[in-house]
Structure 1
Amino acid sequence: MKNILVSVDFKGKENLLIEKAKELGEKFSSKVWLIHVAAPDPDFVGYDAGPQFIRDNRADILREERRYLQDFAESLNQNNIESEALLIQGATIETILQKAETLEIDLIIMGHQSHGIFYEAFFGNVSESIIKKSKIPVMVIPLD
């Protein structure tokens, strides 16, 4: 197992995923890729990219998310586990699967939290969709 992809969503329990990646990375001398898929920029019909304050706020959020990812990667690197952080804007499921194929990932690690029926109806279930569509093994860590 040369490459492990860890999907991070910044909902507060990332450390559980990072710890599992660290454990597997040590055992198999794997490179750990940390990925966060940020929502694409909103389209404002008839405008360039929306009002300036919205663009500034969005840029601040993306910078903060990138910094968090880099911190996780540096922590793994300090433990002698080669690691890189990727922050990509796009559709979550498609982006994860595309990157997994491009990076020749051997295992995808992601978390799962239970949500109510209304949340599932509106937002779906990313881990379930990845499991159904992936040709790569997926390890799902319960985060509840």
Structure 2
Amino acid sequence: MKNILVAIAKPENAEKLIAHAVNIGKHTNAKIWVLHVSEPNPDDFLALEAGPQYIYDQRTEERKKEAAFVRKCAEEIIQKYDLPAEGILIEGSIPKAIKKKVEENDIELVVAGHKRKGFLYDMFTTNKKKDLIDELNIPLLAVPIG
């Protein structure tokens, strides 16, 4: 296994999810890809027209914090565990973002948090046409959280 993707929805779950990915990655010197999916970027013209300036400013600041957090997670993996790592912040739908990164980076395992009616629940219940798991055709490690 050379590439493991950790999908982080909330910062408070990052440490637990990363620990599982690192635990597996240490055995094969896998690269750990830390992914956080953000709301769409407010930098385009239409976003500026969509609401008051303070909402635009608030969203931009939030996005900067998310990007810094993802970079910090990747840096800690490199420093603490001596594994290659990269942080990715992408906008849009979580299943589409995961699928895109799995395909682009030859990911062999996805590590994601699971709680009742959380990320994994939504993945399986909101996409009636195809399950993300079937589309990816790779293993998914569902880590129980909160």
TM-score normalised per structure 1? 0.83
| 1:51 corresponds to 2:52 | yes
Task: Tell me if the contact between 1:110 and 1:127 (Cα under 8 Å) persists in the aligned partners.
Answer: no
The answer for unaligned runs of 5 or more in structure 1 is none
- Paired AA for residue 37 in structure 2: V
Q: How does 1:1-144 map to 2 (within 5 A)?
A: 1-10=1-10, 12-41=12-41, 48-78=49-79, 79-115=81-117, 125-126=122-123, 129-144=131-146
Counterpart CA distance in 1 for 2:24 and 2:47 is 49
Larger deviation, residues 75-84 vs 3-12? 3-12
Report percent identity of matched pairs.
32
Q: In the superposition, relative to structure 1, how do residues 3 and 127 fare at CA in structure 2: closer, same or farther (>3 Å)? A: farther
Alignment length (residue pairs): 138
Deviation at 1:73, TM superposition (A): 0.6
Q: 1:101 Cα deviation (Å)?
A: 0.7
Paired AA for residue 59 in structure 2? R
Q: Is the 8 A contact 1:111 1:127 kept in 2?
A: no
Q: Quick one: structure 1 residues 71 and 45, their matched pair in 2 at CA, closer, same or farther if it must change by over 3 Å?
A: closer
* Distance of aligned partners of 1:47 and 1:77 in 2 relative to their CA distance in 1, 3 Å threshold: closer
Q: What is the CA–CA distance in structure 2 between the aligned matches of 1:13 and 1:46, rounded to whole Å?
A: 30
TM-score, length-scaled by structure 2: 0.82
Name stretches of at least 5 consecutive residues in structure 2 with no aligned partner. 126-130
CA RMSD after TM alignment:
2.6
Q: CA deviation at 1:111?
A: 0.7
